[in-house]
Amino acid sequence: MAIEIKAPTFPESVADGVVATWHKKAGEQVSRDELIVDIETDKVVLEVVAPADGVIEKIIRDEGAVVESAEVLAIFKEGASGTAGGADAGQAKTESKNNDSVKAESQARHQADGSEKISQDGEIIASPAARKMLEENGLNASDIEASGKGGRLTKEDVVGHLEKKKSDTGSRPATAAASQPKAAADDMPAGDRTEKRVPMTRLRASIARRLLEAQHNAAMLTTFNEVNMKPVMDLRSQYKAQFEKRHNGTKLGFMSFFVKAATEALKRFPAANASIDGSDIVYHGYQDIGVAVSSDRGLVVPVLRNAEHMGLADIERSIGEFGKKAKDGKLAIEDMTGGTFTISNGGVFGSLMSTPILNPPQTAILGMHKIQERPMAVDGNVVILPMMYLALSYDHRMIDGKEAVQFLVTIKELLEDPARILLDI
C-alpha cells in the first residue's frame, strides 16, 4: 500500500521548513519508526520517521527544498522489500563515489551529512558537537571508543582521540603523517590562503533576521548596575548539599535566583513584562521567562512557563532539561514558543559586560555576566567582594528610563538579600 510521507504540521509561528538531510534513498529498505528525513525550521530540526516497514518508492522534495506544513515529501510503499543502499541513486544525494560496498556507502554518507546515527557494528549515537568534530577532522566514528550514556559518542571522546592521534603522529616517521586525512592541505605551498563557503543554517539565518529586526523596530536602550553576589553564594554554599539531596540530585545554581528575582520585579513593573502589538500594548498576567541557551546550532531560548509559580528546584530542573535537549538537538518548537521576558547569561563564557539585544516582541531582556572579585568600599573600608555587572536592555517606546533603572535596582536588592525572595517582600 502506497503512503504519502509528509512534512510535520508546523505551528502558526513557523511558516515553512527546509529539507535538511535525507537519511534514506529511493528504493532503500526501512523499518517502522526509523529516521527518514530531517526538516529544519527557523527554530528546531524536526525528524520524520517511517510509518511502517517498507520501501521509499520516490523522493519528491530533495535536500534544500523549502516545504510547507504537511507537504508531501516522498511516496512510501508499506510491506515492500528493497535494497540496503537504494535502487535509484538519482533520487537522493550520494555522499561517496568510491565505496566498495553498500555498507561503506552508508557510513560515508552518514558522516558527510552530519547524521546523528553513525554505523559502528550496529548503531551508535553521536552528540551534535561530536558529529561536527568528526566532519571537520575527517574521522570515522568506528575508530573512536564511545564513553557516553547508552554508547553515545561525546565531544570529549573525539577530543581525546585527536590528542592521542597527535601524540602518536609526533613519534612516527614523516611518511605516516602524510597518510592523514588532511594531508592535501599540508601539501599546499606555504602562504596559500583558503576559504570555505557554506550556506547559513535555517536557525542561524532566523537568529540574524530577528536580531536585525529588534534593532530596527525598537527604540532599544541599555542600563547597567552591579550586584554583590556574596549573599547568594554564601546561601548556596551553606545549603547546596541538602538541596541536592532533598530534590533528587538537582543542583542549586545561580540562575534560579535570577529567575525568581526577575519574576518579582516583573510583578512590580508590568511594562517590562509587556509587548507592543501595532498600536496596542499587551500586558501579560503571567511570567514566561525565556532562558538563553547556547547550542551547536546557535543560540536558542527555551521558555519556563508560569515561572512565578515555580520553586528554585523546579527552575533548576527545567533549565537542566532544556540544556540537555539543546545539546542533543531535541528541543521542540513548543519549548521555545512565546516568552514574556528573557535572561541571557554571557558570564558562563567569561563576558564581563555586554548589551543584550531584545527578543521581539518582548520589551526587556536581562543580561548576566561573569562573577569577578573586585575591591569595593563598604562602610568606609575596602572589601574584596564577588561582583557581577547586570545589564537591562529595554524598548524605550514602552519603558521609561526611570522604570528601567528601578526594575534593575529591584533585582539587585533581591539578590543582595535573597531572604526577601523567599519571604516575598
Residue 369 bears catalytic tag? no
Residue 62 bears catalytic tag? no
pLDDT score for 338: 85
Residues 52 and 23: their CA atoms lie apart, in Å, by: 16
pLDDT score for 327: 81
pLDDT score for 85: 54
3-class SS letters over the chain: CEEEEECCCCCCCCCCEEEEEECCCCCEEECCCCEEEEEECCCCEEEEECCCCEEEEEECCCCCCEECCCCEEEEEEECCCCECCCCCHHHCCCCCCCCCCHHHHHHHHHHHHCCCEECCCCCEEECHHHHHHHHHHCCCHHHCCCCCHHHCECHHHHHHHHHHHHHHHHCCCHHHHCCCCCHHHHCCCCCCCCCCCCCCCHHHHHHHHHHHHHHHHCCEEEEEEEEECHHHHHHHHHHHHHHHHHCCCCCCCCHHHHHHHHHHHHHHCHHHHEEEECCEEEECCCCCEEECEEECCEEECCEECCHHHCCHHHHHHHHHHHHHHHHHCCCCHHHHCCCCEEEEEHHHHCCCCCCCCCCCCECEEEEECCCEEEEEEECCEEEEEEEEEEEEEEECCCCCHHHHHHHHHHHHHHHHCCHHHHHCC
pTM: 0.61
Catalytic residue chosen out of the listed positions 33, 400, 417, 424: 400
Residues 6 or more apart whose Cβ sits within 8 Å of residue 69:
7, 8, 9, 10, 14, 16
pLDDT score for 261: 96
Chain centroid to Cα 225, Å, comes to: 28
**Which residue is associated with the grid cell 569595593?**
376
Spans of the chain below 50 pLDDT: 86-121, 171-185
pLDDT score for 42: 72
Per the DSSP assignment, residues forming a β-bridge with 45 are 40
pLDDT score for 183: 46
pLDDT score for 227: 97
Catalytic residue chosen out of the listed positions 143, 168, 234, 396: 396
